[in-house]
Amino acid sequence: MVRMPVLKPISGHGNCVPVQRYLEKNGRALARDFFNFSETPDADLMREPEFGKPFDWAAEMDAFRAECGNDDPWNGKRARTFKHFVLSPSPEDEVSLDELRELAHAWALHFFPEHHIAIIYHDDNENRIPHAHIVVNNTNVVTGRRMHTDNPLDLNRALQEMAAERGLRALSNERPEPSTGFQRLAANKGEPRAKARTLQETYRSRAERRAEAAGGYSWVADIRNRVGIAKGLARNEQEFRSILVMMGVGIEDNSPRARRQDWIFSLADAPARRVSGERLGASFGKAALERRLLGARAEHLPDASSRELLRLARKAVELKDLDELDSLSNALEVCSKWRIMSLDAADSAIAAQRGRLRNGVPASQETRIRKEIEALEHARDFLKERRALPLHDVSRRSDRASGKGSWAGEPSGSERNTPQREQPRERREERQR
């Protein structure tokens, strides 16, 4: 019989104190790893030797879950307050503790990158084979929402795939793909079309708003601002990806088995800090970004402005100037919305909105227009101070308007090969002939 890694899920319906007491009693833990707790360093990982004193991970899980209201019953059923997974490798693989830790980290962060995770390692079985107890709080530390697993089968499926990638024994638990038309019809019958996570253009979770109110750092807001700058400067997907790299942001597709296709963004210097586009807001999802980049307007910022704004953005990333990144992202969004390419254009947009107020508008529209004027003024003043926009509209290269050529405004391939200074002489010779 072929043995494989075993994943045993256990649902918890109370506080985390009993499971912590069970996993750590009598000093039985070989090691402990923690992700996404308030005391974890930038790498989002805290290992046992770094504590210096016992770490009460159950208390932090329970307090945060209660703060978000996720201890309450759901649809008349008791709340599932945490999940406890037992990951047991095959005895035949003779996995070391370090190898087990790496596999447990990869699996847990693949499915729960934004949850409190406590991993306790034991070898209290008959053959002293190390295994991992993975406790995951039910509350997302970014959104404050309850844990939801679209397809529980994916949890074990991914473990088997990860084990195989590491040369360990694995056994597929995939259902065979439907091979006939009737089978495919039956497999797809009744599957509702997945809805977007939010309809808000920019979505800020309760946890993010709380961090901002306290003057703390929100890595989700940091990623959102960097992605916002990239989408404001790029004319196509290739440029978008290139600018993200310059801004220290990774991008990858989410799981092909997810209910909705999306991009996952992460910080290059802290890869565990990952967030899907739609969690940043409706305008940051893959579908919305692809539509925007595919239909990028010819009315784009002048090349000189684009280069200067990118320089400012990269400098802000280097200096960790989060306020500057936020202002840059907001200013670029305003320029895109109002097709602003000069300070004159910004003044004209502001004057037009003020004219609407003078002419009288319904009360329901007045607040919105005043907010738009405020955003326009902030963007204009910011870009003027940074000297990032020309005073008047300037003519742009034809290849720029058509979306061709390099992002940095370099000559296209045909222009590089053409001796520009000889063209007037050639035209004179043509007229003489």
Residue percentage of the chain with pLDDT more than 70: 76
Residue 69 lies in a domain: yes
Task: Identify the sign of the CA torsion 156, 157, 162, 164.
Answer: positive
Regarding whether 218 and 119 lie in a shared domain, the answer is no
Question: Same domain for 113 and 235?
Answer: no
The dihedral sign for the CA sequence 190, 195, 263, 401:
positive
Predicted confidence (pLDDT) at residue 413 exceeds the cutoff of 50: no
327 and 282 housed in the same domain:
no
Check whether residue 378 and residue 288 sit in a common domain.
no
- Neighbouring C-beta atoms of residue 220, cutoff 10 Å: 23
pLDDT in tens, 24-43: 888 888 888 888 887 654 43
Q: Hey, which residues does 173 pair with through a beta bridge?
A: none
171 found inside a domain = no
Query: What SS3 string covers 52-115?
Result: CCCCCHHHHHHHHHHHCCCCCCECCECCCCEEEEEEECCHHHCCCHHHHHHHHHHHHHHHCCCE
Are 214 and 70 within one domain? no
> How far is the C-alpha of 236 from the C-alpha of 303, rounded, in Å?
15
Please state, as a whole number, how many other Cβ atoms lie within 10 Å of the Cβ of residue 16: 24
Q: Give the end of a domain, one of 296, 313, 339.
A: 296
Same domain flag for 140 and 70:
yes
Tokens 């729960």: give the residue.
112
Q: Is residue 105 part of a domain?
A: yes
Residue where a domain stops, chosen among 260, 280, 296: 296
Query: pLDDT at residue 403 above 90?
Result: no
List, for residues 142-164, the tens digit of each pLDDT value.
888 888 776 667 788 888 888 87
In a domain, 20, yes or no: yes
Beta carbons of 299 and 291 less than 8 angstroms apart: no
Q: Which of 111-115, 351-355, 407-411 has the highest mean pLDDT?
A: 351-355
In whole angstroms, how large is the CA radius of gyration of the chain? Answer: 27
Whether residue 13 is contained in a domain is answered as yes
Examine the domain organization and report whether 202 and 160 are in the same domain: no
Dump pLDDT digits (tens) for 94-103. 888 888 998 9
Q: Tens digit of pLDDT for each residue in 56-71?
A: 899 999 999 998 888 8
pLDDT at 400: 43
| pLDDT of 232 above 70 | yes
Among residues 121, 146, 165, the one where a domain terminates is 165
Q: Is the pTM of this model over 0.75?
A: no
Do 249 and 326 share a domain, yes or no?
Answer: no
- With a CB cutoff of 8 Å and minimum separation 6, the contacts of 344 are 391, 392, 393
CATH number at residue 58: 3.30.930.30
Residue 327: C-alpha distances to residues 228, 322, 332, 398 (Å): 11, 9, 9, 30
308: in domain? no
Q: For residues 37 and 200, is the Cβ–Cβ distance under 8 A? A: no
Q: State yes or no: pLDDT of 302 exceeds 70.
A: yes
| Tokens describing residue 266 | 């992460």
pLDDT at 193: 52
pLDDT score for 363 = 81
Regarding whether 41 and 117 lie in a shared domain, the answer is yes
- Structural domain of 243: 197-296
Q: Which two tokens stand for residue 391?
A: 């005073």
CA–CA gap between residue 276 and residue 269 (Å, rounded)? 17
Q: Are residues 277 and 328 in the same domain?
A: no
Q: How many residues does the chain have?
A: 433
Q: What is the pLDDT of residue 266?
A: 95
CB atoms inside a 10 Å sphere around CB 419: 8
Q: What SS3 state is found at 234? A: coil
Domain count, the chain: 3
For residue 134, tell me if it sits in a domain: yes
Shared domain for 269 and 328, answered yes or no, is: no
In a domain, residue 180? The reply is: no
How far is Cα 24 from Cα 26, in angstroms, rounded to an integer?
7
Confidence (pLDDT) at 187: 47
160 lies in the same domain as 201:
no
H/E stretch holding 392 reads: none
